[in-house]
Copies of this chain bind each other. A is one copy, B any other.
Amino acid sequence: MGNTFGTLFRVTTFGESHGPAMGVVIDGCPAGIKIEQKDFLLDLEKRKPKSKFSTSRREPDEPEILSGIFEGKTTGTPIAILVRNKSQNSKDYDELKDVFRPGHADLTYFLKYGHCDYRGGGRASGRETVARVLAGTVAKKILGKGLPSEALAKEGTRVEGLVEAIGGIQAEQKSFKFARENELFFADKKKLPEVEKLLEKTQKAGDSVGGVIELRIKNVPAGLGEPVFDKLDAELAKALMSIGGVKAVEFGDGIAASSKLGSENNDAILNLKGKTKTNHAGGVSGGISNGNNLVIKLYVKPTPSIELAQETVNKQGQKVKIKVQGRHDTCIVPRIVPVAEAMVALTLADFYLRQKACQGIS
């Protein structure tokens, strides 16, 4: 269980890293939405490993649309899309067959299911996120439409992410434009060389580093989110924490706010559309979008696959040392950016539809 996300816009993913294919089924997408093969390719492209600090596994990622789209439009029936795995290299994993990698899900899958798919993490692999990105492409098409309410945004909603820190090096200036232009999606042009130097050093050492991602979502209609449990920030926290490697999720100035005064942290309200003077809240009040930008941060741990020797046990319970070879990312953070954008899009599209269901009846 647990492979479906959403209440109305329901996304189910399947596939293992070294199985024949990854795939997604989207149920609940409204009919009549224009969508093309190239929309998917654009998002898949952003997700592909690009920099030299990324895995050398390079997949063509050609989406095959199996259902739900006919003559360039969604039909209202389930959208199923497949991406074949082509560049598996199971041999890489042969020597890991009986050993549990620290920081990975090998042992927890083994304890939960009584087995683990040693070939590249199986279902727990980052490869799974290709299916999330496919679904995100569809979700973004819905976000472009707005809701039929005066109080809500006229323009489409836009989700953007950048990397604001890697291995402790913090961007001082944050530019979404610059982030789109470099392979690491790093926010600060001036600091980028320093980051690259760190990554080179880390890669050479067979080690890895973590980092921080910032997401900004513009033109979010006020009124999204379903208190008291399915609050907007609660569902987004779930959506983002479900991405492998993410260990903390923060809204607005969340962490800093915990040491501030109320008089410093409250956002003065400027008008009936919800516009506030500051945005310490990060765009959510009482679990409902308040008409300002959503601002979210993700704290990502370093890739657990490292070539340095680590202590662990094998399936016989014996203590062993392990060095994880294979094709890995020195820093997974940039690769999470498009996945996080997709997860936000899925979450918002679902809340759009939930809100739409209830509006304008009285």
Contact = CB atoms under 8 A, between A and B. Distances in A.
Contact of A258 (B8, B34, B210, B260): B210
A242 interface: yes
A152 to B, nearest CB: 8
B113 A265 contact: no
A25 B12 contact: yes
Contact of A111 (B7, B70, B227, B274): B274
- Residue from A21, A269, A281, A317 with most neighbouring chain B CB atoms (10 Å): A269
B285 A105 contact: yes
Given A111-B222, A261-B209, A304-B262, A16 B77 contact: yes
Contacts of A108: 222-223, 225, 274, 285-290
A268 B310 contact: yes
Contacts of A173: none
A265 B302 contact: yes
A68 interface: yes
Report the copy number of this chain in the oligomer.
4
A61 interface: no
A207 interface: yes
A288 B108 CA distance: 6
A234 interface: yes
Nearest to A333: B258
Nearest to A34: B362
A87 interface: no
Interface string A154-179: 00000000000101100000000000
Contacts of A227: 2-3, 77, 105, 123-124, 242
Contacts of A82: 66, 82
Given A3-B27, A108-B274, A66 B8 contact: no
A3 B229 CA distance: 5
Nearest to A169: B259
A65 B343 CA distance: 27
